[in-house]
Structure 1
């Protein structure tokens, strides 16, 4: 029997004691960054699993050559090594007491693409989504599509043998790879491919060794390895046996099948040559609604007769959770309802074909086989994409479930033959229900992979015992039915201890031989697959109990209410580590991460930092609001709110950052800059009293210096230009005796004092639609105070505002309160309802439900306006960039909708993310460069590509400011675009309404 060196706890303690010395040595050896500080280490202590293990340190290599240098240093000093990509593993295999090599930051290049051979060569740190965006012009794509496709790295896909939804058609990563550029723990670089043994003595040694191991254990491999379409337990010795059975000579045995799924325990993937496929011409999705989970599962074998590319399952627990997510809620309306009873399960049956007619035939075939379930065929890309977003959100969505029991991932990866899937579901559910709880079910049903997450509270000893019992019995059940407990997510800490129970001691010995062949010193991700802990270790080293005792959940008197998240502690712990915030393109979340690619600048990094800081895991007392590194981590959050909707778990980092900042200020004093920004309206009102003098002062050298010194503004940023206040230049409203409906225009800080033209144009447009407009100059919405963490001040301000607005609403009886600035409306609709105000929540809710953006009001009530004016056609296009808060909370359809009604197909919605300005964020001297870098990701290039006659329209004042500074172009508000082209009546009509001012 082969015995590997096992790194014992005292070994780790010795290495930790030498941490400073090792960090200095690594810093001399590599060109990249070496981060051995506690904060950096702890941000890499978790992945998307339930586990938390503090690493020795972190290295961010700046190139592939740097990875090699780091590994050689570690090998020379006996340091364990953990290669890491997106950190989205679900079984804990991305957590270890090792030196973490983060390849995701600087090791993500495309090396070569061959359209003729349908292959590409890439670095390990490139994401699948990134690669497929790059390949799209060639008409080719890389087929494996795990749910984490936007953040999963190619190296991680290899380490985990990722598959995704379409593996029944395209196979797993191992079936889509030609070669792996591998680095052994010794520092030897070796190319692993079909002819490698012929060319490279190291590859030949490894190949001969693996063949010898397989030959000696052939009978057990045939007996113990499951015959399912998926299998990701142990090492892929069954694939090597198939090659041997075919009679492949040694030179043609491809060890990529062994490296795929090896979880970084055999070699480090530096790069790979991937097989590509043609992008299908047509895709269609048949969505079926079932009244029970059992009936949905029983339908799967019949559906496979239609030869789909995927069959995916979601249960009612996931669907119910999705109904509370603002980004996913509209998608649920598209799902077919069962003929009787509530919707209990959904199957997504996908077809990829050459022509649309075939899709319709496939739909008919599906309907013939599932007459008991209503179904709908979707062929438009928008609907299909919406359904895909719902499916991939399944796992992280579950972490928003209410209650102290949460969905725990430890038996979420079982695979059984598809024909046994129904029996497996019933018996699995019975095991879970024996422990007085339930589970969420979702699945790659087409290949028999069932993802199940029982609801447990790991702070309770009885639930930890239940977890262990469920893990053992379900693993045995999967084996009994011809499957195995690891279908695609791998073994890691969750299932590694169960491997011997399935494969037996002799095959585990074979796995150890393979490990010793590749990594004789046992340095690569030790303790995974081979030499795991005892079965009891499955419930150990979790985030809640990383060191054998419960980590306290923070309890504090907060400024916000966290009822929806079941308290502040639960809100802080809500992040499940899925890393959706680490996507590099598309959507808005997370702008700072997209610009820096730094873990600490992702929503996940910030969520982890908060959780660790407020539970005393940074070496400080619990509730440490002054931890310097946590403050630094939160500092680059733009409070864009994208995570509130784009994060499936519903992490609201903007709120958490404001709470943390307010709690910190309560222990001392808010800095001058924060106090000035938080009272922006007072400053703006003063400046607008003498606007020309204010402009001369801010344009002067001494003025810019004084303002920059007091408020920390960057000298490269232009300052707002103040004008006479809106209430001075807007004529009074018409007499109320006219039979004209009234709307209240909320005078925000910008339309009141610096962009008064927006207020005037809003009135012009609203009067053209037949409304009497009343200006409400009632104070600040408190957005600046909220964003800067001045929450006590914000609470007092909201209470005042509620009283002022109530009086105006009572007096004027308006149809609505209309707002021009999206961030002001988001404050009214979101933070006003969650702050601990003195005013009754019901009073705030009544104002919130009556408040709309101007363009939202116009669009949503289009058929009910007293008049609907005509609009002239602009000569160019109308390019619309959306505000982050608007996209996060109520969507862009209102702004886009009214502009589309006015300008038809001249409207173009730009596919842009955050502008990078974010109010005071972009003014800051310390953040200016990052602000501009974020702007350059999507927005500023899109503006520069406009045509000469094109209008650039942006509802947010920050967005327009960023466009002015970054692209030297004056963008306009949507109401300004409407006002510019609205055709006004020239005579007073029978309603008594006429334009109350001329545009000049």
Structure 2
């Protein structure tokens, strides 16, 4: 059998199950090809063996980098090769000669970090730099924002160590290789010199087609460069030697504001003579799309007045030189183009401003009106001096076809990115897609441009190459591929003999109408639409920072990323690869290691909410069936805690026995029920005068009420010190979090309805609800709308209430250092800006850790089978940071799970913000 033979032939893994096939069925394009298997080679010998077995069985081979291809060239119905798991080493770095030798799976940021130790960098830097691989960049000739200064990937490759389709290994650079292939290439060039010299448009971002002009004598007969951008259709990459460039010691960003993006494009010719490191452009419609997502990024307030902007970065040997150059750029743009300018010299300001542009690839998939937008005509390029005229024509073309998109991109090189609301789910819509693509191709060619200026042709644009190149040149493309791959084994259907651009669309197929329970208010009430949110840009497979995605950071497996899980859910809704709907064991197992941290709700550029999708799946998967024991023990925790509060000592004594039968992992220590509850302690406190004071309702969540009442007591003192009249809800309340997270949505909805009835008088009066447990507060702020059709609740964190309603409240200065583990749900739903301001008011020098999820994540880290991933998530950043903190440094964590994890793994006691502020109340005020 083919798969068995392939698995026996290589040292790496071969995965041909439904999970792998579904997870790798899509990239970041509009296309879908379900592979026969995915191979993870460990060496060049494995690559050769894969080629041998696939050639013998007539199975095509597709190489894939990070799976962020927008043109569809990282997909295949044969064997997909993923080098990122094992072939990911930097083999050598030569700072003197400014070169590095790398394996294809090396992530760009890993190479840049290694080069930075020598004051060097790899010039091309696409927005996916935190996860894209060097092999993928070589495959599609990636560029990025700094190609104005340092060129495309093709300009930065010295040599390629490759395998041809017959398994021959060759080191290629400048000069023809010896033997028959060299002879064939010589004949190809010598017989068509005039065509090669005159057949290609002259512009910096020509990525479409094969770069056969690199083989001309005047271009050094650069075979390696000719193979860059061939999209895996000619050779497989084993190793690459790349060129490094000196990184400026200091950089300063100038942002110039114009009336709109077309006016910004018209100003580009004034920028280029100033030799910037980068010149990026965008319009106000991108900002509108960003604001639709929710919280307003503070960087927006730094943008100069206008409706379109250029981001111009300059460098210098030191901060003073970079600033002087930036001031010169700003002055010249103001004088020559009338631009309003802002100069950002502070690195933090620059990062915030750049984050707007870098998020564009995801932001632009949702238009300001909420419509879905898709790639396809994603990255065409024209000569920079023609950019303004091209944009005017392009916007007119959108109007002609009744389409909408948000252009942005690398204006300094005439490259424009855009996603368009193609109606790809209907046959008439797909016809309009084709008509637009053909007209757009004619438009860009009329301006002397390239169909692709960065991402390659793939299935999206290869069919349109005859509109850009002559029939004679297209025949040379076929001849060039035949030199390396005469049997069309490597990535067939791309560039040469291409597939139709409107075939194999991911939207063109069956969609199961499975029953759903949540409302999906942002997706038209459709789970199918929700699963389409994931467009594959892969921010969830960035392991360098952030909250998303903790289980992928621990396992490195695609199905444990937000993207991989979204793919599985999509295939489940389609019903072809994943055929058993809500009963799917593949989807269940992929979601089992989802911590429901909600990191994807905020960190994913398109706000995928995997925690909610998991709850939906679990609800249906276990409908009418016995659930895992932990769903009863931990899912019903509010009920058990209420019963245990009658005799907490006995409950604590019996807890180990209950844990054994309740699906709780034996490695985990159990939190102890408090001797009294917050409600009882609240009734015994001294009652301050409430005359004329702002009333607030303190939310007695399960964790605070039954396990940590001292936090509720501290919060009460803080609120009363700040001038509030603090009350508890009139009756028993619960947000239903534990039932929601275990997929018991019917109970969660009933619990929430009852709670809202209890709170109804206070909600009607607009009384603030103060939440102390971030996960419970996130339910009241976000999940409640998935369960119930209710207006927004005035539910706020302690910091938000103090910041908004008591900005003049005085706290003493603790004069302390602190580190904070921000709860994932707080990060995702309401942030910690108010917490930071409160800590500064209390004299606390705080640093919020970029540690992601603590790993305990409510019920997740307590359940049997999750302990290893739970601890791995904590050990990534949190545990080392807490362990290294000085003894006097305060450790803050508002989440009960976070405090528990920190206590278990470091033996340090973490404090809630309420406890810190309580310490800061002046003695006289007490």
TM-score normalised by length of structure 1: 0.88
Q: Residue 560 of structure 1 contacts residue 659 of structure 1 at CA under 8 Å; is this kept in 2? A: no
TM-superposed CA distance for 1:798, in Å, is 0.9
Aligned partner (choices 150, 154, 169) of residue 130 of structure 2: 150
Cα distance in 2, alignment partners of residues 208 and 688 from structure 1: 85
Q: Which moved more, 1:765-774 or 1:230-239?
A: 765-774
Q: Which residue of 1 aligns with 2:556?
A: 597
TM-superposed CA distance for 1:29, in Å, is 1.4
Cα distance in 2, alignment partners of residues 405 and 898 from structure 1: 38
Which aligned pairs between 1:369-380 and structure 2 lie closer than 5 A? 369-371=336-338, 373-380=339-346
Q: Which residue of 2 aligns with 1:235?
A: 210
Cα distance in 2, alignment partners of residues 203 and 733 from structure 1: 92
Residue segments in structure 2 that go unaligned for 5+ positions in a row: none
**Paired residue secondary structure (2:30):** coil
**Paired residue secondary structure (1:453):** coil
Which aligned pairs between 1:439-518 and structure 2 lie closer than 5 A? 439-518=405-484
Q: Residue 883 of structure 1 contacts residue 959 of structure 1 at CA under 8 Å; is this kept in 2? A: yes
TM-superposed CA distance for 1:225, in Å, is 0.7
Cα distance in 1, alignment partners of residues 558 and 543 from structure 2: 12
Cα distance in 1, alignment partners of residues 154 and 253 from structure 2: 26
Cα distance in 1, alignment partners of residues 240 and 460 from structure 2: 28
Q: Which residue of 1 aligns with 2:775?
A: 823
Cα distance in 2, alignment partners of residues 664 and 899 from structure 1: 44
TM-superposed CA distance for 1:24, in Å, is 0.8
C-alpha distance 566-835 of structure 1, shift in aligned 2 (>3 A): closer
C-alpha distance 119-519 of structure 1, shift in aligned 2 (>3 A): same
Q: Residue 82 of structure 1 contacts residue 96 of structure 1 at CA under 8 Å; is this kept in 2? A: yes
Matching of residue 685 in structure 1 with residue 658 in structure 2: no
C-alpha distance 438-714 of structure 1, shift in aligned 2 (>3 A): same
Q: Which moved more, 1:783-792 or 1:464-473?
A: 464-473
C-alpha distance 872-497 of structure 1, shift in aligned 2 (>3 A): closer
Cα distance in 1, alignment partners of residues 166 and 196 from structure 2: 29
Equivalent pairs, count: 919
Q: Residue 571 of structure 2 contacts residue 578 of structure 2 at CA under 8 Å; is this kept in 1? A: no
Matching of residue 51 in structure 1 with residue 23 in structure 2: no
Cα distance in 1, alignment partners of residues 578 and 807 from structure 2: 61
Cα distance in 1, alignment partners of residues 843 and 615 from structure 2: 39
Note the alpha carbon deviations across 1:421-459, whole angstroms, 9 max, x for none. 222222233333222223321221111112233322123
Matching of residue 572 in structure 1 with residue 552 in structure 2: no
Q: Residue 326 of structure 1 contacts residue 645 of structure 1 at CA under 8 Å; is this kept in 2? A: no
Which aligned pairs between 1:305-344 and structure 2 lie closer than 5 A? 305-326=273-294, 329-338=297-306, 343=307
Cα distance in 2, alignment partners of residues 102 and 761 from structure 1: 53
Aligned partner (choices 597, 600, 611) of residue 640 of structure 1: 597
Note the alpha carbon deviations across 1:574-622, whole angstroms, 9 max, x for none. 111111211111111111112222111111111111111012123536x
Aligned partner (choices 217, 222, 236) of residue 192 of structure 2: 217
Cα distance in 1, alignment partners of residues 84 and 524 from structure 2: 32
TM-superposed CA distance for 1:174, in Å, is 1.5
Matching of residue 364 in structure 1 with residue 331 in structure 2: yes
**Paired residue secondary structure (1:614):** helix
Matching of residue 929 in structure 1 with residue 868 in structure 2: yes
Cα distance in 2, alignment partners of residues 284 and 208 from structure 1: 50
TM-superposed CA distance for 1:419, in Å, is 1.6
Cα distance in 2, alignment partners of residues 758 and 955 from structure 1: 9
Q: Which residue of 2 aligns with 1:956?
A: 895
Q: Which residue of 2 aligns with 1:122?
A: 102
Cα distance in 2, alignment partners of residues 419 and 808 from structure 1: 62
Q: Which residue of 1 aligns with 2:316?
A: 353
Q: Which moved more, 1:941-950 or 1:168-177?
A: 941-950
Note the alpha carbon deviations across 1:769-824, whole angstroms, 9 max, x for none. 344433447322211111111111111111111122234678xx796322211111
Q: Which residue of 2 aligns with 1:98?
A: 78
C-alpha distance 617-736 of structure 1, shift in aligned 2 (>3 A): farther
Cα distance in 2, alignment partners of residues 426 and 359 from structure 1: 29
Q: Which residue of 2 aligns with 1:859?
A: 803
Matching of residue 755 in structure 1 with residue 755 in structure 2: no
C-alpha distance 774-984 of structure 1, shift in aligned 2 (>3 A): farther
Note the alpha carbon deviations across 1:383-424, whole angstroms, 9 max, x for none. 222222221222322222377964232222222111222222
C-alpha distance 333-659 of structure 1, shift in aligned 2 (>3 A): farther
Q: Residue 281 of structure 2 contacts residue 410 of structure 2 at CA under 8 Å; is this kept in 1? A: yes
Matching of residue 723 in structure 1 with residue 674 in structure 2: yes
Q: Which residue of 2 aligns with 1:15?
A: none
C-alpha distance 63-781 of structure 1, shift in aligned 2 (>3 A): farther
Q: Residue 261 of structure 2 contacts residue 283 of structure 2 at CA under 8 Å; is this kept in 1? A: yes
Q: Residue 558 of structure 1 contacts residue 568 of structure 1 at CA under 8 Å; is this kept in 2? A: no
Note the alpha carbon deviations across 1:735-778, whole angstroms, 9 max, x for none. 55545444332111111111222122222333333444334473
Cα distance in 2, alignment partners of residues 951 and 937 from structure 1: 20
C-alpha distance 523-277 of structure 1, shift in aligned 2 (>3 A): same
C-alpha distance 133-363 of structure 1, shift in aligned 2 (>3 A): same
Q: Residue 871 of structure 1 contacts residue 978 of structure 1 at CA under 8 Å; is this kept in 2? A: no
TM-superposed CA distance for 1:667, in Å, is 5.0
Cα distance in 1, alignment partners of residues 341 and 370 from structure 2: 36
Aligned partner (choices 66, 73, 78) of residue 58 of structure 2: 78
**Paired residue secondary structure (1:970):** coil
C-alpha distance 68-758 of structure 1, shift in aligned 2 (>3 A): farther
Q: Which residue of 2 aligns with 1:5?
A: none
Q: Residue 405 of structure 1 contacts residue 457 of structure 1 at CA under 8 Å; is this kept in 2? A: no
Note the alpha carbon deviations across 1:500-523, whole angstroms, 9 max, x for none. 332222222222222122223221
Cα distance in 1, alignment partners of residues 418 and 721 from structure 2: 57
Q: Which residue of 2 aligns with 1:14?
A: none
Q: Residue 417 of structure 1 contacts residue 483 of structure 1 at CA under 8 Å; is this kept in 2? A: yes
C-alpha distance 615-294 of structure 1, shift in aligned 2 (>3 A): same
Cα distance in 1, alignment partners of residues 141 and 365 from structure 2: 25
Which aligned pairs between 1:343-422 and structure 2 lie closer than 5 A? 343=307, 345-354=308-317, 355=321, 356-371=323-338, 373-401=339-367, 406-422=372-388
Cα distance in 1, alignment partners of residues 757 and 649 from structure 2: 34
Q: Residue 521 of structure 2 contacts residue 785 of structure 2 at CA under 8 Å; is this kept in 1? A: no
TM-superposed CA distance for 1:493, in Å, is 0.6
Note the alpha carbon deviations across 1:632-674, whole angstroms, 9 max, x for none. 1222211111111111112111112212222333454544421
Note the alpha carbon deviations across 1:349-391, whole angstroms, 9 max, x for none. 22223322222222112212221x4332222222222222221
Note the alpha carbon deviations across 1:314-364, whole angstroms, 9 max, x for none. 2343222111123664433333333xxxx3x33222222332222222211
TM-superposed CA distance for 1:951, in Å, is 2.0
Matching of residue 138 in structure 1 with residue 118 in structure 2: yes
Note the alpha carbon deviations across 1:71-125, whole angstroms, 9 max, x for none. 3333344331111111111111011122011111222122222233322222211
Q: Which residue of 2 aligns with 1:805?
A: 759
Q: Which residue of 1 aligns with 2:823?
A: 883
C-alpha distance 328-555 of structure 1, shift in aligned 2 (>3 A): farther
C-alpha distance 149-36 of structure 1, shift in aligned 2 (>3 A): same
Q: Which residue of 2 aligns with 1:983?
A: 922
TM-superposed CA distance for 1:264, in Å, is 0.8
Note the alpha carbon deviations across 1:824-866, whole angstroms, 9 max, x for none. 11011111233136xxx13xx2xx22x222233233445343x
Cα distance in 2, alignment partners of residues 728 and 39 from structure 1: 51
**Paired residue secondary structure (2:53):** helix
Aligned partner (choices 92, 96, 114) of residue 112 of structure 1: 92
Residue segments in structure 1 that go unaligned for 5+ positions in a row: 1-20, 987-994, 996-1000
Cα distance in 1, alignment partners of residues 633 and 652 from structure 2: 18
Matching of residue 245 in structure 1 with residue 189 in structure 2: no
Q: Residue 733 of structure 1 contacts residue 773 of structure 1 at CA under 8 Å; is this kept in 2? A: no
Matching of residue 436 in structure 1 with residue 410 in structure 2: no
Cα distance in 2, alignment partners of residues 571 and 58 from structure 1: 26
Q: Which residue of 2 aligns with 1:918?
A: 857
C-alpha distance 405-765 of structure 1, shift in aligned 2 (>3 A): closer
